[in-house]
Structure 1
Amino acid sequence: MPDDGYIPHARFVSPNEIRRDFCAALSSMYRLEVPLYGELIDLVNDVNERVKERGGSWETSARLGVERHGAIRLGRPSELAFIARFFATLGMYPVGYYDLSTSGVPVHATAFRPISSSALEANPFRVFTSLLRPELISDPMLRQQALDILAKREIFHPRVRELVTMAERQGGLGEDEAKDLVQFGLETFRWHETAFVDQATYRKLDQAHPLVADIVGFRGPHINHLTPRVLDIDTAQRDMIRREIPAKQIIEGPPARQCPILLRQTSFQALTEAIRFPGGEGLGAHRARFGEIESRGVALTPKGHDLYMKLMDELKRVEAHIENNDEHQANLQKVFARFPDSWKSLRKDRLAYFTYSLAFTSIGPGTPRSLEDLIDDGIVTVTPIVYEDFLPASAAGIFQSNLGSSSGSRSPTPEESSSSTESSKVVFEEALGQTTIDYFELYEQIQQKSLDTVRRLTGGVVP
């Protein structure tokens, strides 16, 4: 597992600073490309300020104002391998494996993000990065054509390749080199209105699946959304509708709770954008880029996540396809009544992760006491750990609502499903050139480190 605890060096810019600058530059670029994103940022900032004023938030750290996650879709294993090296120079590593094919989306993915508490606090930028699974394109001739098209494109600026190699060789980048990396790195994420394929090919790709057209049909993976974090996603959803922003009908994820868990997401519908075809073939239309907002809760342990998945499966039996958010949220509330909704019960039942710290700079000597006694006496404070990752079903729901569906790609059959995700993970990690990091292990390490510190400072704590 990589260590993103950066040791300052006089010659090099911290990866945290490069990540911060790249995130800010990407946000500015996307605001120009998709003006509605700017309106969404204003809406989120307004909601967050209202929540803070009424003191209704569980988590109001300074990172909220700059927090973003982006998403891109890659076509070739070699593209994934190099973008992993690019993100590493920004202090971002592949965390988690997500198989979206089981929901009818022909990709699998990971999330590149910082992994230490200090790096996340410095800037929590994440990029959900998908890779096409061409074997799920049903038409074998179209599948081969897509692979041939992807083999001809180069999505990285030569200067970026040079700088990434330089950073790996010398251990970092100087100030001017870091600025170049940000500037030329943006080119990979930029929108290109001219398609990389002719009109007939584009239509065939789109019929296979709109996402296949989005990945294969352009010269680069253009960022398809950039997501701010909101403290009250239900209010934000209502505000989008009130401002006549075309909001997604259903908020994805768990219900609203006193103690939020995992991740809730919604978006405005993907824009229909004009595209040009090479050779003067005229104009076409493409829907891919949308505006998403997210509300993050506490990270769940494997036990907590298993309960979450069990309840979500139960929800599927309660409701069929539904397009009324109020009804959907009411169904969620009923099903999740069995999921404890207090920080104390989530902690004692070992359903969620927390950090522990001393409420005082020092405490007097005494007989070692249990952790619970120290918490009850106000000596140790408990803080929920923010869930930094994603939910495959929610991501697929966002993708499908913005891209539509098609019959030209397939999901694994039920017989394949039991082994499909594990085998495709192996293929994905071979393309990546490294294993993905288990996010449960990351949260466990953060929690355990805080417990070890408390134990050391209090003369021995029984967990």
Structure 2
Amino acid sequence: MSNFVSPDRIRADFSRAMSAMYQQEVPLYGDLMQLVADTNARTLQAQPSLAQALTHTGEIERLDLERHGAIRVGTAEELATLGRLFAVMGMLPVGYYDLTPAGVPVHSTAFRAVEEAALRASPFRVFTSLLRLELIEDTQLRAFAERTLAARQIFTPRVIELIEQAEGEGGLSEAAASEFVTQALETFRWHGQATVSLADYQRLDGAHRLIADVVAFKGPHINHLTPRTLDIDKVQADMPSRGITPKAVIEGPPRRQCPILLRQTSFKALNEAIDFVGAQGVEQGSHSARFGEIEQRGVALTPEGRALYDSLLGQAREALGGFPSEANALRYSELLADVFKAFPDDYDTLRRERLAFFRYRAVEPAGAGDEASADVEALLASGRLACEPLVYEDFLPVSAAGIFQSNLGDNAQAQYAQVSNRDAFEQALGRETLDELQIYARTQQASLDNALKALGVPGHAAAV
């Protein structure tokens, strides 16, 4: 019998340690967490049906544990090693996100657990971006960035040893797992000292704020750690009363009766004092990177649902004529609400029109000699079969870019002619990224198969 600690336990321990570290580094994050907890408690009390649905899906137990972080790295080696580090915690790269169309010079993936039981144990996920150095037009500045990144080591020597130990032996003991969490945390810690001069930082910042954030520091400090709320509009409205300044626009779809995909907002990035490396000694400056983000997750959409979502979001953005900002926030909200009237807002229609994924369960298991009809619609109508929306576990490229834009300042926007380069990202990572839509489809089908088996339906159901 193995004495290894499960990857789920390591991931849960790391998530708690990361949250404690971030709260110590950014005290405002603690205030945000309390606001989210208060809002969730009131929402569950006011909506018993929502509480019941979350209980059926197992989400009620994981709600307070839910976090997602975001980091940005500069080299293929850093990305590949991060992939190995996350693998020790049972986290795999899911999805490919190209943020260059929104003027952000990175491409990304989400490291997370993929199995239902693992997600219930710890839904911790990290949106991980790789800087696209080839998009720095100034060749001298690009060469400087490459040299600066090549000179740093973002992992402790001990965490590398522990990664190799886990890979070679198939896991980590209790003592080794505890040490792994402590050592891995150092990669994500904030550093108030830059590795470049103030003048070089300003050159990097002039190319793009995010380039400076990645290149100018010892490591990829965690720049936000996001809790999950059940009512993001309420959190957004209540932030000022807690001394928190929210960003202007909630990213993602508009408020709906049946939430879809992901909505997110944040407090504005902190302007923090930084010591730069000067020729005559330390130079004082500042940098904005870290912010407090909140998310509300809805149902995962099928390919047909995603196509409709993308089309409607595109219509709203085109009508707006630019990025959402404080100046046009009200107009953008009105446009979103109007165009999304075309997206069905009840779960039954979303299911029947195959716009969203659902998890099925048997309500009345089969008795001796009992055999139910294989007609899914008839079983649902009779109440013997039930379903709940399958929560979206991933991210939205436009939403992620919007959060970046709103927290990087006005000079963060840029135009990049290059197209998506998934092959280059996966080559840097050292493996292919997983298709999130296939994961949802498998989860939905497995839940239906299991439910029908419990109801005494012979064989397997056709794909839904």
The reply to whether TM is greater than 0.5 is yes
Tell me if structure 1 keeps the 8 A contact 2:374–2:452.
no
Letter in 2 for 1:12: F
Secondary structure of the corresponding residue to residue 108 of structure 1 = strand
Deviation at 1:173, TM superposition (A): 0.2
Deviation digits for residues 89-115 of structure 1 (CA, Å, limit 9, x no counterpart): 000000000000111001100000000
Secondary structure of the corresponding residue to residue 299 of structure 2 = coil
Deviation at 1:313, TM superposition (A): 1.1
Deviation at 1:381, TM superposition (A): 1.0
* Matches for 1:48-59 after TM superposition, within 5 Å: 48-55=40-47, 57=50, 59=54
Deviation digits for residues 261-282 of structure 1 (CA, Å, limit 9, x no counterpart): 0000000000000000135232
Tell me if structure 1 keeps the 8 A contact 2:236–2:265.
yes
Deviation digits for residues 221-249 of structure 1 (CA, Å, limit 9, x no counterpart): 00000000010000000001233311100
Letter in 2 for 1:167: A
Match of 1:295 in 2: 296
Tell me if structure 2 keeps the 8 A contact 1:199–1:281.
no
Deviation at 1:314, TM superposition (A): 1.1
* Matches for 1:82-101 after TM superposition, within 5 Å: 82-101=81-100
Range moving further from structure 2, 164-173 or 55-64: 55-64
TM-score (norm 2): 0.93
Deviation at 1:329, TM superposition (A): 2.4
Deviation at 1:367, TM superposition (A): 5.2
Deviation at 1:410, TM superposition (A): 4.9
Secondary structure of the corresponding residue to residue 277 of structure 1 = strand
- Residue 353 of structure 2 corresponds to residue 349 of structure 1: yes
- Residue 439 of structure 2 corresponds to residue 442 of structure 1: yes
Alpha-carbon distance change, 367 to 72 in structure 1, aligned in 2, over 3 angstroms: closer
Deviation digits for residues 429-463 of structure 1 (CA, Å, limit 9, x no counterpart): 00000000000000011011112223333223565
* Matches for 1:31-42 after TM superposition, within 5 Å: 31-42=23-34
Deviation at 1:405, TM superposition (A): 4.1
Alpha-carbon distance change, 67 to 371 in structure 1, aligned in 2, over 3 angstroms: same
1:385 to 382, 390, 408: 390
Match of 2:425 in 1: 428
Deviation at 1:404, TM superposition (A): 1.7
Q: Give the total of aligned pairs.
A: 447
* Matches for 1:324-339 after TM superposition, within 5 Å: 324-339=328-343
Match of 2:38 in 1: 46
Secondary structure of the corresponding residue to residue 411 of structure 2 = coil
TM-score (norm 1): 0.94
Letter in 1 for 2:274: I
Deviation at 1:377, TM superposition (A): 0.8
Q: Distance in 1 between matches of 2:78 and 2:47?
A: 45
Q: Distance in 2 between matches of 1:16 and 1:367?
A: 37
Deviation at 1:174, TM superposition (A): 0.1
* Matches for 1:114-133 after TM superposition, within 5 Å: 114-133=113-132
Secondary structure of the corresponding residue to residue 134 of structure 2 = helix
Root-mean-square deviation over aligned CA pairs: 1.5
Tell me if structure 2 keeps the 8 A contact 1:136–1:410.
no
Q: Distance in 1 between matches of 2:320 and 2:329?
A: 12
- Residue 298 of structure 2 corresponds to residue 306 of structure 1: no
- Residue 403 of structure 2 corresponds to residue 411 of structure 1: no
Tell me if structure 2 keeps the 8 A contact 1:138–1:410.
no
Match of 1:285 in 2: 286
Range moving further from structure 2, 183-192 or 243-252: 243-252
Letter in 1 for 2:436: Y
Secondary structure of the corresponding residue to residue 406 of structure 1 = helix
Q: Distance in 1 between matches of 2:257 and 2:127?
A: 28
Deviation digits for residues 52-97 of structure 1 (CA, Å, limit 9, x no counterpart): 1101646451111010000000000000000000000000000000
- Residue 16 of structure 2 corresponds to residue 24 of structure 1: yes
Letter in 2 for 1:459: V
Q: Distance in 2 between matches of 1:183 and 1:362?
A: 49
Tell me if structure 2 keeps the 8 A contact 1:137–1:410.
no
Secondary structure of the corresponding residue to residue 282 of structure 1 = strand
- Residue 161 of structure 2 corresponds to residue 162 of structure 1: yes
Match of 2:377 in 1: 372
Letter in 2 for 1:374: L
Q: Distance in 2 between matches of 1:287 and 1:363?
A: 62
- In structure 2, the gaps of 5 or more residues are none
Deviation at 1:334, TM superposition (A): 1.1
Tell me if structure 2 keeps the 8 A contact 1:136–1:411.
no
Tell me if structure 2 keeps the 8 A contact 1:209–1:405.
no
Q: Distance in 1 between matches of 2:201 and 2:318?
A: 38
Please identify runs of 4+ aligned residues in structure 1 that moved more than 4 A: none
Secondary structure of the corresponding residue to residue 294 of structure 2 = strand
Deviation digits for residues 310-340 of structure 1 (CA, Å, limit 9, x no counterpart): 1011112332345354443232111111101
Secondary structure of the corresponding residue to residue 230 of structure 2 = coil
Q: Distance in 2 between matches of 1:14 and 1:116?
A: 14
Q: Distance in 1 between matches of 2:60 and 2:426?
A: 34
Tell me if structure 1 keeps the 8 A contact 2:362–2:452.
no
Alpha-carbon distance change, 311 to 162 in structure 1, aligned in 2, over 3 angstroms: same
1:397 to 393, 398, 402: 402
Match of 2:457 in 1: 459
